[in-house]
Amino acid sequence: MALQIEHRSELRLIGNSHVTRALDDEIDLAARSDARVLITGETGVGKDLIARLIHQRSTRRVAPLATVNCAGLTDTLIESELFGHTRGSFTDAYRDKPGILESAPNGTVFLDEVGEMSPRMQGSLLRFLETGEIQRVGATRAMTRANVMIIAATNRDLHAAVAAGTFRQDLFYRLDVIHIILPPLRERREDIPALLEHFLDYYARHHRTGPRAWSQDAIDLLSAFDWPGNVRQLRNAVERMVLRSAGPRVERSDIPDDLRPGGMSGRPSMAGATGTPGPAEARDLLRRMLDAGESFWSTVYGPFMSRDLRRDELKAILKEGLERTGGNYRLVVRLFNMPDDDYKRFLSFLRTYGCHLPYRTFRMEAGSGRSMRVA
C-alpha cells in the first residue's frame, strides 16, 4: 500500500545559504496559502522534507499528511490508492474501500514522483484537480468531493517532459501554482558545514559512539565534493564516518577517497560506495526490529517509501526474516513487530513493489535446521 500517514513532529530545515533561507519563506507562504505546490529537484535534495514542513506549518497539521508514491505502481493501484474502489472492481477488490483523497479530509496529500504517472493516470488526476470530485474505481459516478491540499514532487524536469509530450501541459499548470525548486547541494555549498554538524551530532547521539567534531580540513574537503546524491548521500556518509572514525574529531585523513573532489563525483549511480545505505544499514534496521521491538512500518516501510532504502536492501531484510522463520510470512509479520492483522497489507505491499520472495526456498532451508521459531 502506498499510503503513509505522518505524525512526526521534529522536522528541521538545516542550512545557512541564501537559497535555504529563502526556502524557509517559501515554505511559510505555501503553508499559509493552501494553494497547490510543486516541488522539483534532484534525488536527495529534500523534496520530501519540504512537503512535510509545509503540512506541519499549515492549519492542516491537525489532519493527516498522506503520501502516494506514484512510481512503480500500476495504474489500477494508484487509482485505487487515490480514489478508492468499489467491491469487485478488480481481482483483489473484496470490499468497498475509500482512497486517500477521502481518508485525509482537511489534510494534505503528497503525490511523490508525479512525473512517473502514465498518461491515463495523468488524465484521472487532472479530472480530479479540475472538479474536486472523487470517483472510486468501479463506481458509475462521482461520490464525494475532497478538501485536501495537494503537494506534488518529482525529480524529473517537467518542462522537458511537457515539451517531449510525456507529461500533460494542462496537468502541469494545475500542479504548478507555487513552484519550489530545490537546487542540488553542489550549487549551495554554504549549506554543507551546517549539515555536517547537524548529522554528526545526530548520529553520534544515536549510535552513542564516534567523533563529536569535524576538523576544519575535513569540512573544507567535504564542502568541495559534488554530492551527486545530495543531502541523502551526505547524511549516509556522515553516519558511516561516525561509525568508522576512531578519534574524537573527524580528520581529513578519515575521509574516504570517493568523497574527495574528483572521486566518483559526477556519477550518481556510483554513489552507493559511500552515499547510499548498504548492508550495514540493512542490518541495523533488522536489529532495530528484532532487538528493539520497532515495527516494520516505521523502521523499514517509511524509509523505503521515501526512497532512503533501496529495494535490494528491503529484500535482504525480508530474506533474513524468512530464513529465521522457515519461510513463514505470518511469522515474519510477528517477527517484524506488526499486528497479525497486517498480514495482507504486508504481502500486498511487498507484491506491489516487487519485493515478494518465494517462501519455498526458505522452507527447504528450514529442513536443514536453519529456521528459528518466533511465536
CA distances from 248 to 111, 155, 200, 325 (A): 42, 38, 12, 41
Nearest C-alpha neighbor of 56 from the set 151, 127, 120: 151
C-beta of 2 vs 332, nearer to Mg ion: 2
CA triplet 345, 348, 350: central angle to 5 degrees? Answer: 110
C-beta of 82 vs 305, nearer to ligand ATP: 305
| Minimum distance, C-beta of residue 8 to Mg ion, in the bound complex (Å) | 15
- CA dihedral (14, 39, 148, 310) positive or negative: negative
- Could you tell me how far CA 53 lies from the centroid of its own chain? 14
C-beta of 6 vs 48, nearer to Mg ion: 48
Q: Which residue is nearest to ligand ATP (CB)?
A: 46
Among Mg ion, ligand ATP, none, residue 136 binds (CB under 5-8 Å by kind) = none
C-beta of 46 vs 64, nearer to ligand ATP: 46
Q: Are 70 and 78 in contact (CB under 8 A)?
A: yes
| Minimum distance, C-beta of residue 16 to ligand ATP, in the bound complex (Å) | 10
C-beta of 174 vs 235, nearer to ligand ATP: 235
| Minimum distance, C-beta of residue 112 to Mg ion, in the bound complex (Å) | 5
Among ligand ATP, Mg ion, none, residue 14 binds (CB under 5-8 Å by kind) = ligand ATP
Among Mg ion, ligand ATP, none, residue 155 binds (CB under 5-8 Å by kind) = ligand ATP
CA triplet 60, 48, 184: central angle to 5 degrees? Answer: 135
| Minimum distance, C-beta of residue 358 to ligand ATP, in the bound complex (Å) | 29
C-alpha cell at 78: 494508484
C-beta of 41 vs 275, nearer to ligand ATP: 41
| Minimum distance, C-beta of residue 218 to Mg ion, in the bound complex (Å) | 28
- CA dihedral (358, 360, 364, 367) positive or negative: positive
Would you tell me how many other CB atoms lie within 10 Å of the CB of residue 55?
24
Among ligand ATP, Mg ion, none, residue 49 binds (CB under 5-8 Å by kind) = ligand ATP
Q: Residue 125: CB partners within 8 Å, gap ≥ 6? A: 82, 111, 117, 171
C-beta of 137 vs 185, nearer to ligand ATP: 185
C-beta of 19 vs 177, nearer to ligand ATP: 19
| Minimum distance, C-beta of residue 362 to ligand ATP, in the bound complex (Å) | 31
| Minimum distance, C-beta of residue 146 to ligand ATP, in the bound complex (Å) | 24
The three-state secondary structure class of 179 is strand
Among 48, 81, 102, 191, binds Mg ion (CB under 5 A): 48
Nearest C-alpha neighbor of 182 from the set 65, 307, 27, 60: 27
CA triplet 336, 275, 218: central angle to 5 degrees? Answer: 125
Going through 228-352 in order, the beta strands assigned E by DSSP cover 249-250
Q: Which residue is nearest to Mg ion (CB)?
A: 48
| Minimum distance, C-beta of residue 40 to Mg ion, in the bound complex (Å) | 11
Binding residues (CB under 6 A) for ligand ATP: these are 12-15, 41, 43-49, 155, 231-232, 235, 306-308
Among Mg ion, ligand ATP, none, residue 235 binds (CB under 5-8 Å by kind) = ligand ATP
| Minimum distance, C-beta of residue 366 to ligand ATP, in the bound complex (Å) | 37
Window of 44-52, 91-99, 241-249, 253-261 that interacts with Mg ion by CB under 5 A: 44-52
Among Mg ion, ligand ATP, none, residue 60 binds (CB under 5-8 Å by kind) = none
C-beta of 93 vs 305, nearer to ligand ATP: 305
Window of 43-51, 159-167, 175-183, 338-346 that interacts with Mg ion by CB under 5 A: 43-51
Cross-strand bridge partners of residue 97: 85
Q: What is the DSSP string of 55-96?
A: HHHSGGGGS-EEEEE-TT--HHHHHHHHHEE-TTSSTT--S-
Q: Which alpha helices (DSSP H) does 72-215 contain, by range?
A: 75-83, 100-103, 119-131, 158-163, 169-175, 191-207
Among Mg ion, ligand ATP, none, residue 135 binds (CB under 5-8 Å by kind) = none
Rounded to whole angstroms, the Cα distance separating 69 from 3 reads 8
C-alpha cell at 14: 538545516
Task: Enumerate binding residues for Mg ion (CB under 5 A).
Answer: 47-48
